[in-house]
Amino acid sequence: MNNSKAIDFFAWKHHYFEHLFPIWDSLPPKYKGNFYVSTHIHEINQFFIPTIDDHFKISSNLQHIIHELSNRKIDFLLFLVCMVILLIQLIDLLL
Contact 44, 65 (CB under 8 A): no
pLDDT band at residue 74 under the 50/70/90 scheme:
low
pTM: 0.65
Q: Say if residue 35 is exposed, middle or buried (CB neighbours under 10 Å; 0-12, 13-18, 19+).
A: buried
pLDDT, tens digit (0-9, with 9 covering 90-100), for 37-73: 888 777 777 777 777 778 888 888 888 888 887 777 6
